[in-house]
């Protein structure tokens, strides 16, 4: 296993890039901007290597984008209704940065910040101190996010945090995948087959806030439970409320076999064109699938091409959106003396070798 570091001087500060390469030549590149993923290069069925996550040509673009490109949002990934929640009898008001709601922790969320970083063999650890009152959230928070790459082409992400006062927390990585290659485009992405180990989803209102109900996917375009998966684009234009609201998929599914701290299968994504397969597991209770419905206008991709909508799909393991306002959802509360710890594992293989 080989780890190389380099630094890029930008107006926002020193951007540090870490590349971990295993003995087969498969690699990941990570950045201290948003504790993010810059690239994941893995072979296809013919042994040809390509990058399978979307990214930007200029490392500095990761600081100012709105797509949260392959980075860690926070303090609360996804949405909180009306930018408000009550904790221990006290009401907290957050920045409203998305249709009257709080999204991903505000306009200067964790994904736009330069994190502390250090390398440890095949692991890179990013750290961030988030003060009390940060974007309206209570409690001074210490966050660590570690990435490990191994010989089996598995990336393991571990999120850990502690607080000095009760707060709410929901962390994920907002990676966008295209297993045909990051420059393959929307048609190739929407042809890829997704299987979710989730038979319920969270319907939302017009601003993508959950209603509080858990609804079966059976008989709807939200059903991705079939063995072998369903093409992302097969039902994306259906006349169905969730798809019309978001201009595609931007919804949360509830994992069937989840229990706290248990590593559970989330999803399988397959590109029959390239033969690449991505299996995802997590300790989180849910997964948000976002088909890149508003990627247009993002910074240029590594080849210098403007992004189009649907060029990649984000599969974000996380807690339920708006959980602080729904007592029936898994708790998002972190208290003094507790350690927040969640894991995501991305496993890459090819058809016939999984």
User: Which are the catalytic amino acids?
Assistant: 174, 316
Contacts of 253 (CB under 8 A, 6+ apart): 196, 198, 200, 201, 202, 217, 222, 224, 286, 287, 288, 289
Give all strands (DSSP E) within 44-89, no chain letters: 49-51, 79-80, 84-87
HSE-CB at 4 with a 13 A cutoff on CA atoms is 7
Joined together, the tokens standing for residue 134 give 């940060």
How far is residue 221's CA from residue 243's CA, in Å, rounded to a whole number? 8
Q: Which of 3, 37, 36 is nearest to 348 (CA)?
A: 37
How far is residue 2's CA from residue 85's CA, in Å, rounded to a whole number? 45
Q: Are 167 and 333 in contact (CB under 8 A)?
A: yes
| Strand-by-strand arrangement of the 286-290 sheet | 176-177, 313-318, 286-290, 250-254, 200-202, 215-216
Q: Which residue has the tokens 């972190």?
A: 334
């Amino acid at each position: 296993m080989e780890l190389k570091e380099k630094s890029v001087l930008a107006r926002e500060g020193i951007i540090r890039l870490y590349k971990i390469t295993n003995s087969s030549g498969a690699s990941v590149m990570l950045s201290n901007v948003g504790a993010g993923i810059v690239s994941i290069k893995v072979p296809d069925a013919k042994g040809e290597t390509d990058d399978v996550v979307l990214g930007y040509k200029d490392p500095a673009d990761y600081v100012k984008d709105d797509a949260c490109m392959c980075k860690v949002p926070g303090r609360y990934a996804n949405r909180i209704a009306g930018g408000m929640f009550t904790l221990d009898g006290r009401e907290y008001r957050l920045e409203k940065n998305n249709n009257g709601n709080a999204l991903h922790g505000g306009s200067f969320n964790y994904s736009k910040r330069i994190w502390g970083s250090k390398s440890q063999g095949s692991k890179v650890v990013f750290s961030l101190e988030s003060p009390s009152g940060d974007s309206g959230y209570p409690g001074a928070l210490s966050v660590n996010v570690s990435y490990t790459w191994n010989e089996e082409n598995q990336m393991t992400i571990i999120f850990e945090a502690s607080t000095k006062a009760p707060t709410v927390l929901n962390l994920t990585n907002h990676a966008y995948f295209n297993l045909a290659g990051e420059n393959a485009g929307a048609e190739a992405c929407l042809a890829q087959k997704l299987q979710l180990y989730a038979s319920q989803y969270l319907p939302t209102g017009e601003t993508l806030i959950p209603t509080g109900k858990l609804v079966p996917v059976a008989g709807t375009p939200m059903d991705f439970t079939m063995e072998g998966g369903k093409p992302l684009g097969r039902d994306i234009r259906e006349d169905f409320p969730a798809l019309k609201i978001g201009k595609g998929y931007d919804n949360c599914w509830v994992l069937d076999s989840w229990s706290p701290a248990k590593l559970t299968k989330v999803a399988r994504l397959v590109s029959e064109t390239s033969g690449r397969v991505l299996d995802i597991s997590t300790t989180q209770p849910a997964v948000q699938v976002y088909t890149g419905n508003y990627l247009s206008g993002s910074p240029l991709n590594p080849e210098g091409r403007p992004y189009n909508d649907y060029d990649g799909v984000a599969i974000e393991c996380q807690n339920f959106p708006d959980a602080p306002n729904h007592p029936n959802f898994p708790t998002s509360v972190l208290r003094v003396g507790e350690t927040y710890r969640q894991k995501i594992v991305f496993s890459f293989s090819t058809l016939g070798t999984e």
